[in-house]
A = this chain, B = another copy of it.
Amino acid sequence: MIEDKNKTLTNISSLGEFGLIDHLTKEIKPINKSSLVGIGDDAAVLDYGDKQILVSTDLLVENVHFDLIYTPLKHLGYKAAVVNFSDICAMNGIPRQITVSLAISSKFSVEAIEELYEGIKLACKKYNVDIIGGDTTSSVSGLMISITVIGEAEKDKIVYRHGAEEGDLIFVSGNIGAAYMGLLILEREKAVYKEQSDMQPDLEGFDYLLERQLKPEARLDIIQKLKELDVVPTAMIDISDGLGSEILHICKQSGVGCNVYDNKFPLDPLTISTAENFGIMPEVAALSGGEDYELLFTIKQSDYEKLKDVEDLTPIGHITGKNALAYVVGASGGAVEIKAQGWDHMKNQQ
């Protein structure tokens, strides 16, 4: 009953995830007065009254986004919620509600799904977010988690990706590259386990990196700090796909270039030593590794004084001229153009 149209069909992997989204949504324009901003940022912006509403959604698929061999279900639930909160933070908003939809194959017990939900609830409790709905159904294979988050922001304080201007300073919160190192360790131990299943995994001493990978946090504390200090960034994004990919989003959408200095990247000592053990330059791990969920933002130079002594915020570079390129500048002064190297689940598809 399926019609054969004898057309040449395009393989999705040839477009990649971002390419496919762009392709599918390029002609979509909001028509409702209440739809202020639609596709193309960390969250959509809706106008329903005094406050503005932010909406974002994430879909996590087993064996694409997570591997249950080394991901405890409670951690998975926690992370699935937190990455959504992080999208709202990245708009300078506060997450308030989520819906949770699960597709579950018959290999999961009720207790397993309870564990998952416990993690989601724990994250919601910590961030004061309400679970307001969802859908639960069976799947033919594996587990899928779809979460939509709703947040609020003050009308004139929403921060988009497109507001960076020449001369703005680039800041990053916390430290970066650690979540990626955690992933490498888990993958290494998984490989060992597959060879020799009676081996106990050797995870000792890597707690911090594993926690960064398995149980990340959204930087709502930074959003609150910025509010306290009366700083509204000119552009902001959360680091889910790696610093390089995210700074490119800001540059592309703002129509500017940037210089970031790799000796300014905030790196945890354990990230540095572990990267070196894996034979990777720590700066490359920071640039290309994803899932730190730190905030990357730009501010006017006049706001520098307010932020310069804030713990956990590091200036790493500045925005250059209109339509310039994005460069990472090495300690020796040499500059390398940043090109997208983040995760792309479509291109990585097997």
- Write the A18-31 contact mask toward B (1 if CB under 8 angstroms, else 0): 00110111001011
Total copies of this chain within the assembly: 2
Nearest CB on B from A196, distance (A): 12
**How distant is the Cα of A108 from the Cα of B53 in the complex, in angstroms?**
34
Instruction: Mark out the residues of chain A between 303 and 350 whose CB falls within 8 Å of any chain B CB in the assembled complex.
Output: 345-346, 348-350
Whether B97 lies near A46 (C-beta < 8 A) is yes
Whether B63 lies near A133 (C-beta < 8 A) is no
CB of A76 closer than 8 Å to a CB of B: no
* CB neighbours of A2 from chain B (8 A): 68-69
* CB neighbours of A135 from chain B (8 A): 57-59, 146
A132/B38 contact (C-beta < 8 A), A46-B97, A48-B48, A103-B61 known: yes
Minimum CB distance partner of A53 in chain B: B48
How many chain A residues touch B (CB < 8 A): the figure is 92
Minimum CB distance partner of A38 in chain B: B132
Minimum CB distance partner of A12 in chain B: B110
Stretch at the interface among A136-144, A177-185, A210-218: A136-144
A148/B99 contact (C-beta < 8 A), A28-B131, A136-B20, A346-B137 known: yes
**How distant is the Cα of A102 from the Cα of B106 in the complex, in angstroms?**
21
* CB neighbours of A13 from chain B (8 A): 106
**How distant is the Cα of A129 from the Cα of B35 in the complex, in angstroms?**
9
CB of A56 closer than 8 Å to a CB of B: yes
Nearest CB on B from A186, distance (A): 9
Q: Which of A12, A64, A69, A193 has the most CB of B within 10 A?
A: A12
Whether A35 lies near B132 (C-beta < 8 A) is yes
A131/B17 contact (C-beta < 8 A), A65-B137, A99-B55 known: no
Whether A96 lies near B34 (C-beta < 8 A) is yes
**How distant is the Cα of A341 from the Cα of B135 in the complex, in angstroms?**
19
**How distant is the Cα of A37 from the Cα of B113 in the complex, in angstroms?**
24
Stretch at the interface among A3-11, A242-250, A263-271, A282-290: A3-11
- Write the A73-101 contact mask toward B (1 if CB under 8 angstroms, else 0): 00000000000000000000000110101
CB of A276 closer than 8 Å to a CB of B: no
CB of A49 closer than 8 Å to a CB of B: yes
Minimum CB distance partner of A87 in chain B: B133
Whether B108 lies near A12 (C-beta < 8 A) is yes
**How distant is the Cα of A142 from the Cα of B10 in the complex, in angstroms?**
17
Whether A10 lies near B57 (C-beta < 8 A) is no
Whether A133 lies near B1 (C-beta < 8 A) is no
Instruction: Mark out the residues of chain A between 103 and 141 whose CB falls within 8 Å of any chain B CB in the assembled complex.
Output: 103-104, 106, 108-114, 117, 121, 128-141
Minimum CB distance partner of A110 in chain B: B10
**How distant is the Cα of A60 from the Cα of B159 in the complex, in angstroms?**
33
* CB neighbours of A58 from chain B (8 A): 101, 135
CB of A15 closer than 8 Å to a CB of B: yes
Whether B128 lies near A32 (C-beta < 8 A) is yes
CB of A152 closer than 8 Å to a CB of B: yes
Closest CB pairs A-B (n = 9): A49-B49, A9-B109, A44-B132, A146-B146, A10-B110, A148-B148, A59-B101, A138-B349, A35-B130
Q: A34-B96, A137-B345, A141-B142 are in contact. List 5 more A-B contacts (CB 8 A).
A: A2-B68, A38-B132, A59-B102, A101-B146, A135-B146
